[in-house]
Amino acid sequence: MLASRSPDVITLGCRLNLAESETIRALAGSRDMVVINGCGVTNEAVRQTRVAVRRARRDRPAAEIVVTGCASDMDTAAFAAMPEVDRVVPNAAKLLPATWGGFPNHRPTRRHARAFVGVQNGCDHSCTFCAIPLGRGPSRSEPVGQVVARVAALVEDGAREVVLTGVDLTSYADGLGTLVEAILTGVPRLPRLRLSSLDTIEIDDHLFDLVTSEERVMPHLHLSLQAGDDLVLKRMKRRHSRAQAVAMVARLKAKRAIAIGADLIAGFPTESEEAAANTLRLLADCDIVHAHIFPFSPRDRTPAARMPQVAPGVARERAARLREAAATRRAAWLATLVGSDQQIVIEKPGDRGHTPAFAEVRLPHPMATIGDIATVRITAAADDHLIGTPA
């Protein structure tokens, strides 16, 4: 679960939420308000949204507390009934100036090393475990020209890396490859472009060629894999098979040294021990070094919630097994980077950053201005990050 907090906006959930929170922050001005931009992807995410609401009221007793995001859309009445909440804003209205009093200030309110840009929202697919279409609606995309202008403005304001985000990013209406090419061409001063979660079955030849040949596109892809067993994938209503996922990763890595990340669900309904083992083996088969692993959490109004459930304890144990194996793989990958020189974008508070392959590097002391690109020598590796010094 990603989490970020500022004096006026609390963000939980996906990178698209992070991007949208920046717009909300710009629109809301400097009034005495706390906006909780919550997540509804799992029951735990909804619980964390409620915790954030209560904490915000304790921390800012006089502020207006506003809840928005997928969690509030899926359970509007429950959030509106919370005594801490002053207002619930639908997801569809959270980026409208009128919602926040008509302040049309879309300029960033602070300089970021990495900026998130939402280019696509909603989803037209019907994965049986996913409640996000209930909170986000059907797929829709921002116009290419509008995205290019937004990226150009962010670069002008100091962003050195831009991350394209979306609920189903590879379903971008004009083709994600078309958008990526337009950004690279239209914003030549952008040093680093990163893509968030991709659906392997929608990586077409145009996008494949850009990802594997353009140095400004970062060599790090996070894939929406979810499982490594064909029967489970079928019951999830995913559109790829295990073999297709493995083949796509092999094609990508044959062309470029790309670090692979993936979302994986443990304990999906009807998952057998054999199926769980197939997902465990996917870590090696796809060389996954950035793994996001979740035990299955049934969501109301989804088909998976009505399927025969795996016992919660079993799901948690399988998730722990996956996390342990993923951590071992990640530590081994990080160790291979010791002794190399890496370029990082300096992030707050100035003593850390990420390599192009999205390995975190920590430095002994602040060394440059936030947002600068610096070359560092990797001197050691911890279990989940690298240690570096100016090269």
Mean pLDDT across 344-372? 91
Cβ(375)–Cβ(391) under 8 Å? Answer: yes
Q: What is the pLDDT of residues 147-161, one digit of tens each?
A: 999 999 999 988 999
Cβ–Cβ contacts within 10 Å for residue 283, how many?
A: 22
To the nearest 10 degrees (0 to 180), the angle between helices 205-213 and 176-186 is 40
Query: What is the spatial distance between Cα 15 and Cα 3, in angstroms, rounded to a whole number?
Result: 10
Cβ(343)–Cβ(372) under 8 Å? Answer: no
Q: What is the pLDDT of residues 277-336, one digit of tens each?
A: 999 999 999 999 999 999 999 988 899 999 999 999 999 999 999 999 999 999 999 999
Q: Tell the burial category of 60 from Cβ atoms under 10 Å away from its Cβ (0-12, 13-18, 19+).
A: middle
b/e 21-51 (16+ beta carbons within 10 angstroms → b)? bbbbbbbbeeeebbbbbbbbbbeebbebbbe
CATH 3.40.50.10860 fits 2-100, yes or no: no
What is the pLDDT, as a whole number, of residue 6? 46
- pLDDT band of residue 113 (cuts 50, 70, 90) is confident
Tell me which of 110 and 115 has the higher pLDDT. Answer: 115
Query: What is the spatial distance between Cα 215 and Cα 29, in angstroms, rounded to a whole number?
Result: 37
Element (H, E) at 208: helix 205-213
Q: Which of 7-16, 82-91, 206-215 has the lowest mean pLDDT?
A: 7-16
> Rounded to the nearest 10 degrees, how much is the dihedral formed by the CA atoms of 194, 197, 202, 204?
20
Q: What is the pLDDT of residues 162-175, one digit of tens each?
A: 999 999 999 999 99
Mean pLDDT across 54-58? 94
Residue 230 has pLDDT above 70, yes or no: yes
Element (H, E) at 128: none
Residues in a beta bridge with 388 = 378
Cβ–Cβ contacts within 10 Å for residue 331, how many?
A: 14
Its CATH class, for the domain covering 114-335, is: alpha beta
Residue 105 has pLDDT above 70, yes or no: no
Query: What is the spatial distance between Cα 187 and Cα 144, in angstroms, rounded to a whole number?
Result: 12
What is the pLDDT, as a whole number, of residue 5? 42
Residue 103 has pLDDT above 90, yes or no: no
As a whole number, the mean pLDDT across the chain is 92
For tokens 């979660």, the residue is: 197
Query: What is the spatial distance between Cα 249 and Cα 220, in angstroms, rounded to a whole number?
Result: 12
Grouping H, G, I as helix, E, B as strand and the rest as coil, residue 278 is: helix
To the nearest 10 degrees (0 to 180), the angle between helices 144-156 and 176-186 is 40
Q: What sign does the dihedral 79-81-82-85 (CA atoms) show?
A: positive
What is the pLDDT, as a whole number, of residue 102? 61
Cα angle: 287, vertex 293, 296; to 5 degrees: 135
Q: What is the pLDDT of residues 247-259, one digit of tens each?
A: 999 999 999 999 9
